[in-house]
Structure 1
């Protein structure tokens, strides 16, 4: 089968996904749009308005994508449901009706475990109890392929989820189409390897790889996204469409292989524990790399949970200086701000950006950036006010003040027994909405 990657994060482009759907002969297209902080922010939006919390770009992406996937018979699997998959499903159903496209949406829920997570357990990162980090606003378990297979069994054109482990978004459709059993560890390991390589989309086609003069990548402005041709035994070839920018090479594949992997001998996912050591990557043609050799051990008994908590407020503000001695005036401004804020107890960072040219000579234009973390918006605003006051109370020639105060959602993680997580599939029909 052939499976493509249509997104690697919440802010990704939609054009390459549409191109894949139209020209790549795909069976499935996966859009991975969720990160730890993304889902916590989605939960935060949902607390303010229960009708939202899903990916804010969902409708705009699907307006362009779903007519094309419908025309070419490509199934879409995505975690754009974020903190509110059911609302995302309803939006998608209504969009299909508006577009005059018939379809079925399967929505997977159950990753939200805030009501059953013991907040006394220590965070994996620092050993401090979860509750002691701050007010907890979200707790989402990383679901695996077993949660998605019932959704795929419905025959849905679109499968929407919340928090699912990134590789599992690919493992589920691979197992579904190729008839793999979820306890066939070698094949599930192979599928997880494919998913891990595709999950960040343009990274494996040269996006995050590019470094001019060191690792040159052609056509980066028109970067194409990857697909994988996967055999029943799990061996696969990673490629991209002809005529698109970027490159698929053993270099791009090997870099992505180790991306976000702390232990290559035992990479834990909800589906398998993957050992990368036997993996082989072989260039078989232009923009084609064959991967094989993944080894797997039985899946963990626990699921990882991403926990979001209120970590305070960040103030970030700046002012520019121009003309002779611009850097000296900016440094004096930094000294004024830090001196005036010395008694607040806040940790202040003040830095002058662009003070020197590449030659080492001072520039005639630079910018002071001041940042701080504060316990509440009022304290954060004090920082920004001091920067704004530099207009007339600081060194000469300051201008262009910009100030931003926003809440910070901190992220820690923990484990939860798999048995404590219950998933459900809800099916929505565009035909029903049209009637």
Structure 2
């Protein structure tokens, strides 16, 4: 079977997916577009407008690739339904693409099963402890939920919190007739999905590091293709004329990406074992991967529980030249002092020097104070718009009230979300499909 990945996150590029749909000779094309934050924002958008809550690029992507995949007999599988997969399916059918059919995978929304006493983050707290408005909750559902949709013959299968590797595994189960309790093949198919789910990360995108890990034609990096045998062995490749590269190094990085225990990688379908994986670089952007295994799947399903995070206020000012770091640090101290003493702020604040300590926030790494520039950023999360605006006001006042040389103020207030994890018995998460079209 030949499967392509046309997106590795919600805002991924489109042109590489079009190339795959047109030239990839694919059996299936997967768009993986849901993360914890995007799911939470989907719930926020749906609360504001019941007709929203799906991926905002859904229509643009489908208009570009669906006619091509239909012509080639290629199935699209995606989680672009986010927090509103049924509406997403209706929107897809509304595009009026000739011969199109859609199967919506439903049931991952478990908001009604989450209560104030539901444990979060391994029992560290409860929903009530978060003390924020609950937006929604979604279980990670697996290949069992997807199989009926694929078996329906729909040219587009769309859902919400479809677990990333499960979208690929469900296609393989359908094609090769793998049993759901064939743990070795469930592990092998999960590895295929894990390798592919992040799109261009495995073709050199997130791998690139100039002078250390150089990647050719990164601006036109191609999306990956997986060629899978009936035993689960997979060869990762890309279109010949696409930028990027597929090597044993790019594949190794992706094997380990976000895997805390390679021998026990928990998914809705299997407890996958990647510890015995073998990687064979065949050259010319072809790498074969085999040796994954697995054991019985978990009894519970992970759930993302999303809350309204209030308003994120961010104010920024730049300082340049001799003493820039010292002046920016003083400006941050002044602004924080006034926010606490004059305005009575008790909320957590981030005071960062971008380019010096904005990520690690614990040391200056020997950056010289002379002949440099730095940007001060002060941020906080608030439930009240007036307090968010006060943060911006105080940061902007630094331009005249000192220290010297501040300029280029920019401030913004944006909605934010907060997510926590929960678990539900898989029996508490029934799923179903709804099919549209011929």
Instruction: Name the TM-score class by shorter chain.
Output: over 0.9
Q: What does residue range 73-88 of structure 1 map to in structure 2 within 5 Å?
A: 73-88=73-88
Corresponding position of 1:58 = 58
Corresponding position of 1:2 = 2
Q: CA deviation at 1:91?
A: 1.1
Cα distance in 2 for residues equivalent to 1:325 and 1:264: 47
What secondary structure does 2:113 align onto? coil
**Shift in alpha-carbon separation, 1:123–1:322, aligned structure 2, 3 A:** same
Deviation per CA, 1:387-408, whole angstroms, max 9, x where unpaired?
A: 1222333344433221122232
Q: CA deviation at 1:195?
A: 0.3
Q: CA deviation at 1:175?
A: 0.8
Cα distance in 2 for residues equivalent to 1:127 and 1:49: 33
- Conserved in 2, the CA contact under 8 Å of 1:354 and 1:363? no
What secondary structure does 2:111 align onto? coil
What secondary structure does 2:146 align onto? helix
Corresponding position of 2:360 = none
Corresponding position of 2:394 = 386
Q: What does residue range 183-332 of structure 1 map to in structure 2 within 5 Å?
A: 183-322=181-320, 326-332=324-330
**Shift in alpha-carbon separation, 1:149–1:325, aligned structure 2, 3 A:** same
Indicate the RMSD between aligned Cα atoms, in angstroms: 2.0
Q: CA deviation at 1:338?
A: 1.7
Corresponding position of 2:102 = 105
Cα distance in 2 for residues equivalent to 1:317 and 1:221: 32
Q: CA deviation at 1:377?
A: 2.7
Q: 1:179 aligns with which of 158, 177, 180?
A: 177
- Conserved in 1, the CA contact under 8 Å of 2:235 and 2:288? yes
Q: CA deviation at 1:30?
A: 0.3
Deviation per CA, 1:130-178, whole angstroms, max 9, x where unpaired?
A: 2311322111000100101111111100001000110001001111111
Corresponding position of 2:350 = 349
Q: CA deviation at 1:298?
A: 1.5
Structure 1 residue runs without a partner (length 5+)? none
**Shift in alpha-carbon separation, 1:328–1:241, aligned structure 2, 3 A:** same
Cα distance in 1 for residues equivalent to 2:355 and 2:429: 51
Q: CA deviation at 1:58?
A: 0.6
Cα distance in 2 for residues equivalent to 1:350 and 1:304: 34
Cα distance in 1 for residues equivalent to 2:28 and 2:354: 45
Number of aligned residue pairs: give it: 427
Q: Does 1:46 align with 2:46?
A: yes
- Conserved in 2, the CA contact under 8 Å of 1:117 and 1:416? no
**Shift in alpha-carbon separation, 1:328–1:267, aligned structure 2, 3 A:** closer
Q: After superposing the two structures, state which structure 1 stretch, 254-263 or 361-370, moved more.
A: 361-370
What secondary structure does 1:341 align onto? helix
Corresponding position of 1:18 = 18
TM-score, reference length from structure 1: 0.93
**Shift in alpha-carbon separation, 1:358–1:224, aligned structure 2, 3 A:** farther
Corresponding position of 2:359 = none
Structure 2 residue runs without a partner (length 5+)? 357-363
Cα distance in 2 for residues equivalent to 1:232 and 1:171: 12
What secondary structure does 1:248 align onto? coil
Deviation per CA, 1:284-326, whole angstroms, max 9, x where unpaired?
A: 2211111111111111221111111233432211122456655
Cα distance in 1 for residues equivalent to 2:322 and 2:115: 59
Corresponding position of 2:28 = 28
Corresponding position of 1:71 = 71
Corresponding position of 2:374 = 366
Cα distance in 2 for residues equivalent to 1:349 and 1:66: 44
Q: CA deviation at 1:369?
A: 1.4
**Shift in alpha-carbon separation, 1:165–1:340, aligned structure 2, 3 A:** same
What secondary structure does 1:285 align onto? coil
**Shift in alpha-carbon separation, 1:123–1:377, aligned structure 2, 3 A:** same
- Conserved in 2, the CA contact under 8 Å of 1:54 and 1:88? yes
What secondary structure does 1:362 align onto? coil
Corresponding position of 2:159 = 161
Cα distance in 2 for residues equivalent to 1:290 and 1:399: 53
What secondary structure does 1:403 align onto? strand
Q: After superposing the two structures, state which structure 1 stretch, 369-378 or 100-109, moved more.
A: 369-378
Corresponding position of 2:433 = 425
Corresponding position of 1:376 = 384
What secondary structure does 2:282 align onto? strand
Q: 1:130 aligns with which of 119, 127, 151?
A: 127
Cα distance in 2 for residues equivalent to 1:281 and 1:126: 38
